[in-house]
Amino acid sequence: MEKPSLWISRRLSAKTEARACRDYNVILNEDDRLSDSSAIIEMSGKVDAILPCHSEIFDARVIEKLDSRLKVIANHSVGTDHCDLEAFKKKGIVVTNTPDVLSDATAEIAMLLLLGAARRASEGDRMVRDGQWNTWSPSFMVGHQVTGKRLGIIGMGKVGQVMARRARGFDMEVHYFNRTQLSKDLEYNAVYHGSLESLLSVSDIVTLHCPATPSTRGIINATTLAQLRDGAILVNTARGALIDESALIGAIESGKLSAAGLDCFATEPGGNPEFSKHKNIFMLPHIGSATFETRDAMGFRALDNLDAFFAGKEPRDRVA
């Protein structure tokens, strides 16, 4: 039997590509360049499956023009906000994602951002690298201690739950807001809040771990930022669309936020140039899941879903 044909839209881990090439007729993106909508539409007529990342946008316009040969999209991501799932359903194309396997890595980056923002890591690193560290006193580079602080988690899914466990190592008091309250064994003694306003009003640090959906886009805005305690810290490792970036800058400039740690932005790649003007915004280039172990796990999970589909079985992680 002839192997199914597969287009892998970006360079993945070596182990993932080796396994894919073993089991499929693979077209690789050797240059690792971002593919625009016309390239995606063109490739859909050449393959049975596409293994894309969140960088490839499948909106309704693109999906409508996809070739009938294409049968399945196996996303190399847990988030599916780059996909119009309803349009895929109407088109009859199966869509999967890669949940669970990136939770630890993303929570690690969230903790890095939390600590970096609180302890002025970006400012200190730049000072030493630029040869500007020429003084010291007890008032020098004073930041915020996180031990014992109240951490507010927005979105208590897999990543949020890992973050709650990690925060316990810093003796933090964990609170969370979620669509529904979790069972006691998944709460890790965190305090549930039935409203976002309730959570924000008690949190010293807020970290975002929810997907970008119509109901959560812009969830952090001028109104919700005003509900925070003065001098709070905001961390985002989820999606840039969750934050109104103009409102965030306003909160930084007013002192409502003492610092922010961001791994994702409304515009990617590139981020927001205005953020660079503020020393108390600690930034990373969307690398929350970027560990060798996690990249292998994500790639294998996507391939597991493809294997199931072409074996006539229901993919484990089907979302459309």
Model confidence pLDDT, tens digit, residues 146-160: 999 999 999 999 999
Q: Is residue 284 a contact partner of residue 259, using CB atoms and an 8 Å limit?
A: no
Would you say residue 1 has pLDDT above 80? no
* Strand 94-96 to 150-154 pairing: unpaired
The tokens describing 57, both together, are 């946008």
Q: Any idea what DSSP says for residue 179?
A: S
Mean pLDDT of all residues in 21-44: 96
- CA–CA separation, 273 and 155 (whole Å): 28
Mean pLDDT of all residues in 250-268: 98
Would you say residue 164 has pLDDT above 90? yes
> In this structure, what are the phi and psi dihedrals at residue 233, rounded to the nearest 5 degrees?
-120, 135
Number of Cα atoms under 13 Å in the Cβ half of residue 189: 8
How much is the pLDDT for 212? Answer: 93
Q: Any idea what DSSP says for residue 2?
A: P
Confidence band (pLDDT; 50, 70, 90) for 32? very high
Which pLDDT tens digit goes with each residue over 120-147? 999 999 999 999 999 999 999 999 999 9
Would you say residue 25 has pLDDT above 90? yes
Torsion of Cα atoms, 255 then 174 then 147 then 170, to 10°: -140
Residue closest to 150 by CA, chosen among 183, 124, 179, 177: 177
* Selected catalytic residue, list 150, 166, 286, 301: 286
Q: For residue 9, what are the β-bridge partners? A: none
Which pLDDT tens digit goes with each residue over 302-318? 999 999 999 999 999 99
How much is the pLDDT for 188? Answer: 87
**Mind spelling out the 3-state secondary structure of 281-292?**
EEECCCCCCCCH
| 139 Cβ contact partners less than 8 Å away, ≥ 6 residues apart | none
286 is a catalytic site residue: yes
> In this structure, what are the phi and psi dihedrals at residue 152, rounded to the nearest 5 degrees?
-105, 120
The tokens describing 12, both together, are 């993945």
Q: Is residue 71 a contact partner of residue 93, using CB atoms and an 8 Å limit?
A: yes
Report the percentage of the chain scoring pLDDT > 90.
Answer: 99
144 is a catalytic site residue: no
Tokens 């979790």 belong to residue: 182
How much is the pLDDT for 28? Answer: 97
Q: Is residue 77 a contact partner of residue 101, using CB atoms and an 8 Å limit?
A: no
Mean pLDDT of all residues in 178-204: 96
Query: What rounded mean pLDDT belongs to the chain?
Result: 97
Would you say residue 284 has pLDDT above 90? yes
Would you say residue 57 has pLDDT above 90? yes
* Selected catalytic residue, list 166, 193, 209, 239: 239
- Whole-model pTM? 0.94
**Domains along the chain?**
5-101+292-310 (3.40.50.720), 103-283 (3.40.50.720)
- CA–CA separation, 6 and 126 (whole Å): 44
* Selected catalytic residue, list 64, 253, 268, 274: 268
Q: Is residue 237 a contact partner of residue 263, using CB atoms and an 8 Å limit?
A: yes
